[in-house]
Amino acid sequence: MELLRVANLSKIYGQDSTKVVALDNVSFTVARGEFVAIVGASGSGKSTLLHLIGGVDRPTEGTVFLDGQNIYSFNDDQLAIFRRRQVGLIYQFYNLIPILNVTENITLPLDLDNRQADPEKLARLLARLGLTQRQDHLPNELSGGQQQRVSIGRALITEPALLLADEPTGNLDSAASAEILALLRQANRDYQQTIVMITHDLEIAAQADRVIEIEDGHLVGDVQ
Amino acid sequence: MTILHKIARRDFKLNRKRSIGTIVGITLSVALIMAVATMLTSLRQTLIQREIDMSGYYHIKLSQVTPQQLKKIRQNRDFKQIKTTSDLGVAAFDHADAAVEQSPLLTLQSLNATKPTASGYHLSSGTWPQTDQEIVISESAMLASGLKIGDQLQLKIGKPTVKKRKLPDSDALIEQATVVKGKNQNFRITGVLNADNYGYQGLTSAAKAKSYTVYLALKDPQHFRRDLPELLGLSNYHQVREGKKARYRYSLNDGLLHWEVLQFSDKTMLMLVTVATIVIAVIMLTSIFCIRNSFAISITEKTKTYGMLASVGATKKQIKRIVLLQSGQLGLIGIPLGLGLGVLASYILGLVVNHIGSQFLFGRANSFQLKFSWIGLLIAVVLGWATIYFSASSSARRASKVSPIAQIRNEQDVKLTSKNLRVPKWIQRVFKSGGVLAYKNLRRSRKKYRTTVISLAVSVFTFIAMSAFVTAAFNFSYQRFHSLDFNLSFSPNYAGMALKSAKTQAQIQAITKLPDTKHVQVMTALADNGNLKLAGVENHLAPGLTARDHRELQLLALDRTAFRKYGRANGLTEQQLASGLILFDNDTQTVNGKQINVHNYRYQAGDLISGSYQDNSSSPHKKYQAKFRLSGVTRKLPDMVSFYWTMPSILIADQQVAQQQLPLVLQSIVMDASKPEDTIREVRKITLQLGSWNLDGQIREEKTMRLLISIFLYGFIIVITLIGITSIFNTITANMALRQREFAVLKSVGMTKKEFDHMVNLETLFYSLKSLVIGVVSGIGVALLIYWGFNRGQAEQVHYQLPWLAIGLAIVFVFLLVFWIMRYSLRKFNRQNIIETIRKENV
Ligand SMILES: Nc1ncnc2c1ncn2[C@@H]1O[C@H](COP(=O)(O)OP(=O)(O)OP(=O)(O)O)[C@@H](O)[C@H]1O
Ligand SMILES: [Mg+2]
């Protein structure tokens, strides 16, 4: 069953001499529960695509449907609420709030929604992320892998329809990478979490249900 | 506590330094407004108190009020205080100086259990009368009678009468008035009244009265324009001013009304309002700008955080909420601190003022009174909050305009253009590779530097404008304060001290010989303020002038020494001066909007001037003819003349020459006395006909006033400068902090310290030059505006001076300050670990 539909998505940065077509008329769909990897050379437009799917940027043309809803028909506030409830975004650089500790960073989307995190669920999540010992630490007291696990926690806490990850392991060594990947796979397997993940690593991509390849802003490959 | 509160609170704590910078900015701005308001309110209160001390607490004084009328007045609810003294009539007493042509009558009043000071009476020595047997009399009466405290004084109390015609009591001052039929009564003198008014006065404490003098203080002085006409039975305040015939005889206490109601002559008011408006506008703008700036910066610094919040689903409203909460916290600390600081500064200033000598300024027992300004508080709080609110929400709005991802990348303030740049050769040569980097930085991300340049420019602008204000304020007060060559002036209270009278001659002689005096100068004039009617003036007039308007000229005469000194000072020779007549001739004309000095007459040295004079004070009117050869024409008046007269043309004669042809009367005697008080006493012993004017006190008062104004104004400049510095400091350090990562990267790829220095040097040059150009130009503009304000409605114009000193200071100061702050930030950065910095930015 279709969860995500990317429809004729284009993104152009800059004007005239500095104009860059980062995405050029990209369309595809993702079914619920799918684990999709996006691969491509550096600068091919992967991050741009992911940001557009996640609603943190606005496309030049085309749109994105999630659960049948055109997310770019939303106004800014609706879009914010969409981000808060429907997507979990994981960046290559973790983008945590430096002034909030681990637990607070993780529960931030719920807090913004004035919802309380279920303590049991939170504890389970922290345990799954291996952060139980670290729950009161500030981000700058954590290692890169730990920070990335916090951002995964933040993405999972709302049980979003769609989990987006931009090279979540790009900054980590192989052991830490394997850990993160295991976490994502577990979420996908145990909770039927739909995941769209960017990666450079073909080995990691091989573990996905499906690999989409992008080149110069075009979709050039889609392998099951 | 919601997550929003938590974020706001945490952020405030973790970014303590930036928070403190912002708080300092708010505090100083609020303090400045508060201090200015407090000082103004206090000054006004002090001046009100001074007026009350000097003339008593009343707004209107009614004379000769009957008991019935008084009853009615007492029922009037408009009055806060009603004080009365009873009129006991006028009285004759034994006069030592019987030859004085002044009426020897004394106006006798009785205190009605009223505190005498409430009616503006003061004792210079002794005690107040307690019974109807005791009396205090004015200083002049004391001297006239030759009595001392404790002596008995016999008064003949009755009605003033001239040539058998009875007059109202108020006419006791009329010459030759006497009391024909009266009741003799004896009093013991208990004190000396320090009365400034003319005429002899006595104050006793009797129960009975035929009529009253009533001192009325209004409940609501702001409405005096409504209340006074009502009281007097007139239709409007204009009629009150005109002295129309009213229900009562009255006089207004203008001194008190000035300050209580802030009503001045239209011209003074216009000047005050204009200058105050400009200055307050500058203060407010600076304060608002400083606060706004602090916020804009701290919000720029947090953009990334806001972006992250937005990317996990924080709505605009929520982000705005966080910004406002953070601002609120800063305001909550900064505003009360500012209020306190402002009041404290005023308090200290008050102490300083009192220490320097408020007695010269605010009257005898009066000191500078600190009065809290509620309006100031309100303005400071409202303005502070409003500025914080609007600058915070506008920054938040700006922040939320861009997409979360752009915020995370900190894009909106760094609108980079990758245009091709050719770096000028000289930059490469002088500033090396660091300079090249800086240059690219400055050219490619202009917006990022705009805040810094603007904040510098505003500080420069304010500094220059306010310095100009201070200079103009000084010039203004200097112009009021002439440096005269005398400190004491005497002039007859009544006309008629004819020079040819032997008695006048003797008195002048005696005064000239008084000890402890220098430069005694005597000025005489034609009797009855008469003019000399010039013959054949038609042939000696400037084109366009009619003889009708310029035929008559005032003639004043100086004693020979003074005349010669004046002549020599204006370039005339002894030979020329021998003929004994100088024409002062200096009029102004406006030509093409510019004022120029012109002569009205075409007379030249050596011309024969003849004229006639008719003495209207003699009966029958005597006519005199006079003929002089002109010694010369001048453009400046002698000080002693200009002290009394300002006319475009005046004849100044040598007294000895003029005396032979014209009847002269004493006009004034001036001198430089080393013990002015003593000299006044001595002169009183010689004659009571001369009123004294002691400029010594005035000179001292002006000097103290100037000192105070300078303390006040320079304090003001210092605070404004501090605000500017805070604002500059906040902007530059924030800007540098924002570039930490960039620096760390540069450092990590091997940029040396020296190259960083080059970079900083070029940026310093850029910021300073750009902001100085903007700041100096606009500063000069507002300086012009301030001069214009001072000159509005003023006869004497303050001349515009370019604020060179301020400009010079600003230039030096800006360069040093920017350089120092940049270095400071760089040093702080240099101490940090490269990777730490990069990492910190990457969480
Ligand atoms: N804010 C921007 N302004 C201008 N051009 C941009 C901007 N962001 C990205 N680009 C350009 O868009 C193109 C795609 O960028 P994007 O970040 O999507 O690439 P990517 O596939 O994620 O690369 P990488 O694997 O290196 O992360 C690039 O050529 C980049 O130069
Ligand atoms: Mg990328």
- What DSSP line would sit under B17-78, residue for residue? HHHHHHHHHHHHHHHHHHHHHHHHHHHHHHHHHHHHHHH-S-SEEEEEE-HHHHHHHHH-TT
Which helix (H) or strand (E) is A81 found in, with range?
helix A76-86
Q: Are B556 and B647 within one domain?
A: yes
B671: nearest Cα among B513, B831, B506: B513
Residue B295 lies in a domain: yes
- Mean pLDDT for the stretch of residues B421-438: 72
Q: Are B74 and B165 within one domain?
A: yes
In testing the pocket of ligand 1, which one of A11, A16, A18, A46 has its CB within 8 Å of the most ligand atoms?
Answer: A46
Residue B269 lies in a domain: no
Q: What is the pLDDT of residue B264?
A: 63
Contact A94 B842 (CB under 8 A): yes
Q: Are B27 and B74 within one domain?
A: no
In this structure, which residue's CA is closest to atom 19 in ligand 1? A43
User: Is the pLDDT reported for residue B79 higher than 70?
Assistant: yes
Write the pLDDT tens digit of every residue in A18-38. Answer: 788 999 999 999 999 999 999
Interface A-B: count of C-beta contacts within 8 A: 92
Q: What is the pLDDT of residue A36?
A: 94
| Range of the structural domain that residue B506 is part of | 494-688
Q: What is the pLDDT of residue B99?
A: 47
Which helix (H) or strand (E) is B522 found in, with range?
strand B517-526
- Taking the CA of residue B409 as reference, the ligand 1 atom at the shortest distance is 1
B111: nearest Cα among B13, B248, B205: B205
Task: State both tokens at A117.
Answer: 């995190």
Task: State both tokens at B489.
Answer: 């002036």
Residues of A in contact with B420 (CB under 8 A): none
- Is the pLDDT higher at B100 or at A111? A111
Q: Which residues contact A162 (CB under 8 A, 6 or more apart)?
A: A3, A4, A30, A53, A66, A86, A87, A88, A194, A195, A196
- Compute the nearest-CA separation of A136 from chain B (Å): 14
**Encoded amino acid at B3, one letter:** I
Residue B209 lies in a domain: yes
Q: Are B684 and B537 within one domain?
A: yes
What are phi and psi for residue B633, nearest 5 degrees? -120, 135
- Is the pLDDT higher at B406 or at B63? B63
Residue B700 lies in a domain: yes
CA A201-A206-A208 angle, to 5 degrees, is 105
Q: What is the pLDDT of residue B155?
A: 84
Q: What is the pLDDT of residue B836?
A: 64
In this structure, which residue's CA is closest to atom 24 in ligand 1? A42
3-state secondary structure of B534: strand
Q: For residue B448, how many other CB atoms are within 10 A of its CB?
A: 19
Own/partner pairs, B605-609, CB within 8 angstroms, 24+ separation: B605/B572, B605/B576, B605/B630, B605/B631, B605/B632, B605/B633, B606/B576, B606/B630, B607/B540, B609/B534, B609/B581, B609/B583, B609/B651
- Mean pLDDT for the stretch of residues B755-759: 80
- Please say whether the beta carbons of B280 and A77 come within 8 A: no
Q: For residue A114, how many other CB atoms are within 10 A of its CB?
A: 10
Report the alpha-carbon distance of residue B395 to residue B323 in Å, rounded: 9
Report the alpha-carbon distance of residue B554 to residue B647 in Å, rounded: 9
- Please say whether the beta carbons of A30 and A2 come within 8 A: yes
Q: Are B528 and B661 within one domain?
A: yes
Q: What is the ipTM of this complex?
A: 0.78
- pLDDT above 90 as % of chain B: 9
- Is the pLDDT higher at B442 or at B562? B562
CA B802-B804-B807 angle, to 5 degrees, is 115
Please identify which residue in the block is written with the tokens 């309006």.
B375
- Pick the residue from chain B with its C-alpha nearest to A154: B312
Residue B440 lies in a domain: yes
Mean pLDDT by 10 residues, chain A (224 residues): 91 82 92 92 90 88 92 85 86 78 86 84 89 86 86 88 88 81 88 90 87 92 83
Q: Choose among B2, B405, B840: nearest Cβ to A140.
A: B840
Contact B403 A114 (CB under 8 A): no
- Compute the nearest-CA separation of A134 from chain B (Å): 16
Task: State both tokens at B355.
Answer: 């220490």
Report the alpha-carbon distance of residue B628 to residue B626 in Å, rounded: 7
Q: What is the pLDDT of residue A27?
A: 93
Q: What is the pLDDT of residue B772?
A: 92
Q: Choose among A54, A56, A112: nearest Cβ to B3.
A: A112
Q: For residue B736, how many other CB atoms are within 10 A of its CB?
A: 20
User: Is the pLDDT reported for residue B507 higher than 80?
Assistant: yes
B349: nearest Cα among B616, B707, B682, B10: B707
Q: Are B561 and B608 within one domain?
A: yes
Longest pairwise C-alpha distance within chain A: 55
Write the pLDDT tens digit of every residue in B298-350. Answer: 777 777 778 888 888 888 888 888 888 888 888 899 999 999 998 898 888 88
Chosen domain end from B659, B688, B717: B688
- Mean pLDDT for the stretch of residues B124-135: 85
For B502-515, give one letter per residue: b (16+ CB within 10 A) or e.
eebeebbeebeebe
Look at chain B and report how many structural domains it folds into. 4
User: Is the pLDDT reported for residue B573 higher than 70?
Assistant: yes
Report the alpha-carbon distance of residue B15 to residue B23 in Å, rounded: 12
**Encoded amino acid at B737, one letter:** A
Please identify which residue in the block is written with the tokens 């210092």.
B718
Residue B109 lies in a domain: yes
Q: Are B732 and B667 within one domain?
A: no
What are phi and psi for residue B750, nearest 5 degrees? 100, 20
Report the alpha-carbon distance of residue B207 to residue B550 in Å, rounded: 59
Chosen domain end from B406, B427, B450: B406
Q: Are B107 and B206 within one domain?
A: yes
- Mean pLDDT for the stretch of residues B489-503: 78
Report the alpha-carbon distance of residue B305 to residue B303 in Å, rounded: 5
- Please say whether the beta carbons of A34 and A209 come within 8 A: yes
- When scoring A11, A72, A87, A112 by the number of chain B Cβ atoms within 10 A, the one with the most, hence best to mutate, is A112
- Phi-psi region for residue A16, left (φ > 0), alpha (ψ -120 to 50) or beta? left
DSSP 8-state code for residue B800: P
- What DSSP line would sit under B182-240, residue for residue? EEEEEEEEEEEE---SSSEEEEE--S--SEEEEEEEES-GGGHHHHHHHHHT-SSHHHH
CA B768-B770-B772 angle, to 5 degrees, is 65
Q: Are B202 and B322 within one domain?
A: no
Residues in chain A: 224
The reply to whether omega before B663 is within 30° of 0 (cis) is: no
Write the pLDDT tens digit of every residue in B523-539. Answer: 998 887 788 998 888 88
Longest pairwise C-alpha distance within chain B: 114
Cα dist. A55→A111, B322, B407, B499 in Å?
20, 22, 14, 104
- The pLDDT-based confidence of B639 (bands split at 50, 70, 90) is confident
- Please say whether the beta carbons of B620 and B613 come within 8 A: no
Measured torsion, CA atoms of residues B732, A140, A84, A159, in degrees rounded to the nearest 10: 170
Residue B532 lies in a domain: yes
* Alpha helices per DSSP H over B363-408: 374-401, 404-408
Q: Are B288 and B431 within one domain?
A: no
* Alpha helices per DSSP H over B559-675: 560-569, 574-577, 639-642, 655-659
Q: What is the pLDDT of residue B827?
A: 82
Number of H helices, E strands in chain A: 7, 10
Q: What residues does ligand 1 touch, defined as CB less than 6 Å away?
A: A 13-14, 20, 22, 40, 42-48
Which helix (H) or strand (E) is B88 found in, with range?
strand B79-92
Query: Model-level pTM greater than 0.80?
Result: no
Write the pLDDT tens digit of every residue in B589-632. Answer: 777 766 678 888 999 889 999 999 988 777 778 889 999 999 99
Q: Are B79 and B211 within one domain?
A: yes
Please identify which residue in the block is written with the tokens 């996640």.
A54
Domain residue spans of chain A? 2-223
- The pLDDT-based confidence of B113 (bands split at 50, 70, 90) is low
3-state secondary structure of B405: helix
Residue B261 lies in a domain: no
Q: Are B178 and B299 within one domain?
A: no
Strand ranges inside B99-143, DSSP E: 105-111, 123-126, 134-138
Which residues, listed in sequence order, are joined to residue B166 by a DSSP beta bridge?
A: B161
- The pLDDT-based confidence of B92 (bands split at 50, 70, 90) is confident
Write the pLDDT tens digit of every residue in B810-841. Answer: 899 889 988 898 888 888 777 776 666 665 65
3-state secondary structure of B674: coil
Mean pLDDT for chain B overall: 79
- Judge residue B242's burial from the number of C-beta atoms within 10 Å of its C-beta, 0-12 exposed, 13-18 middle, 19 or more buried: exposed
Report the alpha-carbon distance of residue B765 to residue B453 in Å, rounded: 11
- Taking the CA of residue B405 as reference, the ligand 1 atom at the shortest distance is 1
- Mean pLDDT for the stretch of residues B169-173: 57
Nearest ligand to residue A49 Cα: 1
Q: Which residues contact B136 (CB under 8 A, 6 or more apart)?
A: B123, B126, B128, B129, B189, B190, B191, B192, B193, B202, B203, B204
Chosen domain end from B197, B220, B252: B252
Looking at chain B from residue 283 to 342, which residues have their Cβ under 8 Å from any Cβ of chain A? Answer: 305, 308-318
Report the alpha-carbon distance of residue B230 to residue B233 in Å, rounded: 5
- Compute the nearest-CA separation of B317 from chain A (Å): 8
Report the alpha-carbon distance of residue B105 to residue B250 in Å, rounded: 22
- Compute the nearest-CA separation of A166 from chain B (Å): 13
CATH 3.40.50.300 fits A2-223, yes or no: yes
